[in-house]
């Protein structure tokens, strides 16, 4: 079995887990929740094996490198970090419905990686700019931050779902019983954004060091660098305003969603719509 086949299987397991979370929300079936979490763990482990096998395949081809260098590989890793961050949140905070608002992002990322026609799934040699020991450090720090921001946006959607539902559910409506209080969700949004902000900051720093070793300058105002800075400021302003201006509730939820839109454009849109030093990432 090849790495592409393993990763393709992962896509459908994530979909299965997401549907189980929907079933759990609607019917409040504890068994569905346990099965959904178990399916997520299976998908995560299968995906880990797929990433590891792709790494091995690159060495078997004589061009060994970490599978983090093109759009296909980065989308797969993005999905992996989302699943990992969700599982940690599930274990730590026991928000049983969180999977419904986080896991679809992991599934969509894998679906794009598996079925998109505008990206290559081939393993190719590294271009000179990517032949650096800073590659893994930069990609990991950035994508851990991206994963935290993605879950924060999922929590933002959960917040709006919660406040849209009445406190006293209608007969047969169990959804409000499995979604935590709005204040709890808002606190988790803040914690996820703060965690992601720390890792994004580390990603920008490692990227600057890498850029200096590759191109002789720490900062060149390349489109991806510029949008990374814009994304950094969105989260910096949000976190700062939570303390200085009392941003809470809906404002934090909206900023989490807005921040994810900026993350997606920084990560994906820049590669395809703007030319620059990072354009190789679109392949």
In the chain, domain spans: 1-81+94-114, 127-283
Instruction: Answer positive or negative: Cα dihedral of 14, 16, 19, 21.
Output: negative
So what's the pLDDT on residue 216?
82
- Is the pLDDT higher at 220 or at 99? 99
User: CB-side exposure of 25: number of CA atoms within 13 Å?
Assistant: 19
pLDDT given for residue 67 in this prediction:
94
Q: How far apart are CA 245 and CA 250, in angstroms?
A: 14
pLDDT of residue 280: 47
Q: Mark 216-229 as b/e (b = at least 16 C-beta within 10 Å).
A: eeeeeebbbbbbbe
What is the percentage of the chain residues whose pLDDT exceeds 90?
A: 72
Cα separations (Å) of 182 from 134, 171, 239, 248, 253? 40, 22, 18, 10, 10
Please state which of the ranges 26-30, 86-90, 140-144 shows the lowest mean pLDDT: 26-30
Cα separation, 52 vs 67, in Å, equals 8
Model pTM greater than 0.85?
yes
CB 213 within 8 A of CB 134: yes
Query: Which of 15-19, 84-88, 184-188, 273-277 is predicted with the least confidence, judged by mean pLDDT?
Result: 273-277
Closest CA to 266 of 203, 189, 188: 203
């Amino acid at each position: 079995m090849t790495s592409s086949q393993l990763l393709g299987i992962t896509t459908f397991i994530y979909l299965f887990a997401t549907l189980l979370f929907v079933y759990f929300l609607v019917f409040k079936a504890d068994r569905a929740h346990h099965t959904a979490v178990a399916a997520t763990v299976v998908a995560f482990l299968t995906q880990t094996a797929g990433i590891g096998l792709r790494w091995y395949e690159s060495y078997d081809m004589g061009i060994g490198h970490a599978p983090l260098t093109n759009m296909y590989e980065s989308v797969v890793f993005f999905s992996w970090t989302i699943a990992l961050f969700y599982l940690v949140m599930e274990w730590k905070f026991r928000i049983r419905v969180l999977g419904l608002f986080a896991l679809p992002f992991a599934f969509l990322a894998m679906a794009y990686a598996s079925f998109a026609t505008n990206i290559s799934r081939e393993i190719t040699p590294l271009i000179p700019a990517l032949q650096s020991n800073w590659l893994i450090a930069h990609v990991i720090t950035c994508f851990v931050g991206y994963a935290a921001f993605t879950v924060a946006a999922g929590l933002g959607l959960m917040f709006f779902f919660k406040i849209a539902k009445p406190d006293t559910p209608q007969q047969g409506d169990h959804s409000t019983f499995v979604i935590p209080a709005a204040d709890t969700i808002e606190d988790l949004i803040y914690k996820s954004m703060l965690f992601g902000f720390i890792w994004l900051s580390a990603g920008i720093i490692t990227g600057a060091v890498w850029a200096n070793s590759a191109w002789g300058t720490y900062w060149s105002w390349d489109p991806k660098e510029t949008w990374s800075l814009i994304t950094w400021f969105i989260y910096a302003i949000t976190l700062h305003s939570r303390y200085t201006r009392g941003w809470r509730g809906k404002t934090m939820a909206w900023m989490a969603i807005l921040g994810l839109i900026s993350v997606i454009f920084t990560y994906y849109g820049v590669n395809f719509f703007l030319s620059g030093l990072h354009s190789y990432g679109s392949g």
